[in-house]
Amino acid sequence: MPDSRSNLGVSIELPATAAYFAIYRGSDIILTYCSDCEKHPRLRPLRFGFHEAAHATAFGKILLAGMPEPQRTDYLEARGMQVLTPQTMISREALDPHLAEVATRGIAWEHEKFLPRQTCAAVPVRNGTGMQVGAMAVSTPSSKMTGRAKLVESTLREHAGLASSYLRGGSVTVPVAEYP
């Protein structure tokens, strides 16, 4: 049986990043996959099953941005918006316009809002009806992001597109890309 992570395109081949896949499960946003290697470790405390801090993570923000307003309000009221760094958005007045921009652009960037000196990006994964059902994300030290935003965004969009295709129809061959 083929590895569904490869079929979903979760194994993102992007140098100097850790990769993540999050989904809706019931009313929660749950991290279901995270890469972890010595050279590019996952962010701690992110792990399989992590479901906190959607307001501060890129994968959480892309999924929050896709929620209808009443669902988002219920979600945030039930879980709160904890301060994690000095840059964490903890008010709806700050978060809502940001999520509107995320929804328009189709990508969430998070610069030091979850952990100091870390940058993350996430894009949505959609099912056959176009509904947002998950998010693909990467993280890297902020110092390694300089000049790489376009590469990160295009790679994430490519892999999320492959994952969306897989969800619509079954099998997709994931190309292995070589990056400089």
d(CA 139, CA 7): 21
Would you tell me which CATH number, out of the four given (3.30.450.40, 3.40.50.280, 1.10.10.10, 3.40.640.10), belongs to the domain 4-168?
3.30.450.40
- Compute and round to an integer the Cα radius of gyration of the chain: 15
pTM for this predicted structure: 0.85
Locate the domains of the chain by residue range: 4-168
Closest CA to 113 of 154, 144, 67, 81: 81
**Each residue's pLDDT tens digit, 56-66:** 999 999 999 99
Closest CA to 9 of 140, 127, 167, 152: 167
**Each residue's pLDDT tens digit, 91-135:** 999 999 999 999 999 999 999 999 999 999 999 999 888 889 999
Confidence bin at 40 (pLDDT 50/70/90): confident
